[in-house]
Structure formats: C-alpha cells, structure tokens
Amino acid sequence: MKHYLLDGEWVYREENYRRAFELVDGYIDAFMDGLRSGRSVKAEEIDVKRVLLLGMGGSGIVCDIAAEILSSRGIAAQVSKEYTAPLGEWDLIIAISYSGNTSETLNSLLRFLDQDSRLVAVTSDGRLARLGEKFGFKVVRVRGGIPPRYAFPDMLGAILGYLENLDLELARINLDEIREFQEGLKRDKGVDENPAKEAAIRISKSHPIIYVYREVRLPGYRLKCELNENAKLLCHYAEIPEALHNDIEAIPRDGLIIVPRSFREPYEISKTIEALSRLLGESRVLELRARSKSYFEEIIELFMLSDYISLYTSVLRGVNPLILHRIERLKDINAAYHEIKRRLDEKLG
Ligand code: F6R
C-alpha cells in the first residue's frame, strides 16, 4: 500500500526536500570526489603511530570514523571535541571543519601551528583554509555551499584519500554493493519495500530511543544527530549493555528502541537484544540492518540508512531538513566564539 506522503511524488518537488534528497542520493559520487581531492594532496613522509583528530558535529563524526579505522590498523587515534586539545605527542594532527570556522576545532589547533609538517586540515574554506596558507600545512579542500552534515561523504573520502598517501590504505570499497543498497532507500521505492521509509513512519509516531553497542556506535550516533538536525526530533541515545542496567527502567510507553545491527555483533549482544525484544514486545524494537558483510561497506550503508530515515522523518514532521534554527545563532551570541575568532584573526594578520 502507498503512503499518502512518503510515496507522493509531489512532496519531493518542494525545493528543500528535493535538494536534501539530491544531496543524500549523491553520497557515492561525493565520497569519490573527496577521495580524489585527498589523494591529490601530497603527504609528508612521516611514520604515523599516534594520531589526534579534531572536529565537531557533522565534521566530528568524520573524525570518529577515521579514528576507528586507524585504530583497527593498530594506530593509536584519539578524537577531541573540546575547546583545547588533549596533551600528548602526536605524529599527525587532523583538523576537520567543513566551514573552517568552528571555534573548538580552531582553538584546539592553535597550539600545533608550529608543527606544520604534522598537520593536515579538511575543509571547504574559512579560517582553517587561511591558517593552512599562512602556516604552510596541508589542506584538503572539499566542495563548498552545502550544510556540513551533508558533506559527510566528501570529508570522509578526503581524509581517507590523504591517508593513502601516507601508505595507509584504509578503505577498499565495493561501491556496487553500496549502490545497490542505496537504490532500496530512494524516494521511488515505496513504503512496503523501503526500510528507511518504514523506519521513519515508526519513529515519527514514537519517542525514539537509540541503543548502540561498540560495533554500531557511530551509525547509531549519526542517526541521533541526523534526527536532531534534519528532522528536528529529540531522541535518546545510550549504550548497551550498560543502559540495560539503568536506562531501561525509564523507557516511556511510547518509547521505540532503535538498534542498528551488525554482522560483527558479539553473540552476547545478539542474545541480549533478543531478550529485550521479548521483554518489551517486538513492536517496540526497530532493527536497522545493512546488507554488506564487510566492515567499511556496512558502516557506510548504515550511515546512508540513517540519513534517509532522518529525511523521511523530516517530511512526516513537515520540517525543513536543510535549515538549522539554533546552532549558528548560538555561535553568534557565544562570547567564547568571538574571543577565539579575534585571536585567530590576529594570527592571520
Ligand atoms: C551542520 C552540522 C553541525 C556542524 C558543526 C561544526 O550541518 O552538522 O553539526 O558540523 O557545527 O561545524 P563545521 O562542520 O563547519 O566545523
């Protein structure tokens, strides 16, 4: 059966929805463009054992994925989402800020400006790009003019492409597999056969509660952030099994547990989710699955699924998935932000 909104072509003719879906439909090409940009920036020859990654929000999650991949290759990687970077010795410092103007990221970077050979930035522009020009560190540019969170594939490709030049080939990707998965999430696939539309319908009628475990922490977090920013929907996010020792007592009547699942899921976690589903009733648990059975493809597919779910939820809630009402305004009225910008502008001359 068709859904009156999600399966209605007219909905997607509205400019904001059309543009948002177009951006998410372009995921793979954007990733490939990013990869090419990253590869085109020659890296210094350094032996990389310890990496620090700086980034917030939609840029920060790119740091999270890169760190997870680096760690899986035996490289110690730490992500910082603070105003000041943690103390430590780093072989490589990666700053990612789509706008190039995020104060936490730039302020953290300040202390490393004299270590230009160890620094690399990913950005579309802003003060970060100008700092790169002035202090001589590498800058990988991604396309400008879109909201940062939609540039996730561009930025991920950019940093992975750059790391290849350091002999760190981190992602061998089967794009055909991902492409096929994506086809099943697009607007022309009806509710009956489209897991993203089905999930959005359930989410929009409930109080969403995202439960993650280690292997799916990042896609689960992406879903939380995308529901917040695109669908303007507050949702709860917690880690299991810990949450099952406290959080579970407070699940509201209309709570819908959303659990991304992974082929890498440990046996104990599978059994725990099964038990949770028995306890609450299957109708109160929504499982999100990718199709691929390899690490990188699965992560990307779960990210895509999360992004589409958030867009369909924005349609159901009648909100604009491109516009943010508070994030930029808060930056504008935050004295700390202005102070950091002033210090940066002094440095930039
Ligand atoms: C906006 C968004 C935000 C930004 C964050 C940091 O689309 O997703 O979470 O990513 O405010 O800004 P940038 O990415 O420009 O450093």
In the chain, where the domains are located: 18-170+328-348, 184-317
Q: Which of 229, 231, 235 is nearest to 324 (CA)?
A: 229
- Residue 170: the pLDDT is 67
Q: Which CATH superfamily is domain 184-317 in?
A: Glucose-6-phosphate isomerase like protein; domain 1 (3.40.50.10490)
Q: How would you list the strands of the sheet with 207-212, edge to edge?
A: 236-239, 207-212, 255-261, 285-289
Q: How far is the CA of 98 from the centre of ligand 1 (A)?
A: 7
In order along the chain (349 residues), what is the average pLDDT of each group of 10 residues? 92 96 97 96 89 98 96 94 95 97 97 91 98 96 98 97 83 87 97 98 98 98 98 98 98 97 98 98 97 94 98 98 95 95 94
Atom 9 (ligand 1): residue with closest C-alpha?
57
What is the helix (H) or strand (E) element at residue 50, kind and residue range?
Answer: strand 50-54
pLDDT value of residue 171: 67
Q: Which of 35, 54, 32 is nearest to 100 (CA)?
A: 54
Distance 55 CA to ligand 1 centre (A): 9
Ligand 1: lining residues by beta carbon, under 6 Å: 56-59, 97-99, 102, 105, 147-149, 229, 327
Closest CA to ligand 1's atom 11: 57
Shortest-distance Cα residue to atom 16 of ligand 1: 97
**Coil, strand or helix at 229:** helix
CA of 147 to the centre of ligand 1 (A): 7
**The model scores a pTM over 0.95:** yes
Q: At what angle do helices 217-229 and 57-72 cross, to 10 degrees?
A: 170
Site to probe by mutation for ligand 1, drawn from 123, 141, 149, 322 as the one with most ligand atoms within 8 Å of Cβ, is 149
Question: Which pLDDT score is estimated for 110?
Answer: 94
Domains 18-170+328-348 and 184-317 share a fold: yes
Buried b (16+ CB within 10 A) or exposed e, 123-144: bbbbbbbbbbeebebbbbbbee
Q: Helix count (H) and strand count (E) of the chain?
A: 13, 9
Atom 10 of ligand 1 has which residue's CA nearest to it? 58
Is residue 285 a contact partner of residue 254, using CB atoms and an 8 Å limit?
A: no
C-alpha 80/C-alpha 41 separation (Å) is: 24
CA distance 141 to 161: 12
How close is the Cα of 83 to the center of ligand 1, in Å? 15
Element (H, E) at 94: strand 92-96
Q: What is the pLDDT of residue 141?
A: 98
CA of 101 to the centre of ligand 1 (A): 10
Distance 97 CA to ligand 1 centre (A): 7
Instruction: Give the integer Cα–Cα distance in Å for 40 and 329.
Output: 36
Give the pLDDT of residue 168.
73
Atom of ligand 1 nearest to the CA of 55: 16
* Helix, coil or strand: residue 209: strand
As a dihedral over the C-alpha atoms of residue 304, residue 306, residue 157, residue 188, rounded to 10 degrees, the angle is 30
For residue 348, give Cα distances in angstroms to 123, 130, 207, 252, 344: 17, 7, 47, 51, 6
Cα separations in angstroms, 70 against 3, 47, 109, 124, 328 = 43, 13, 20, 23, 31
> What is the fold, at CATH topology level, of the domain defined by 18-170+328-348?
Rossmann fold (3.40.50)
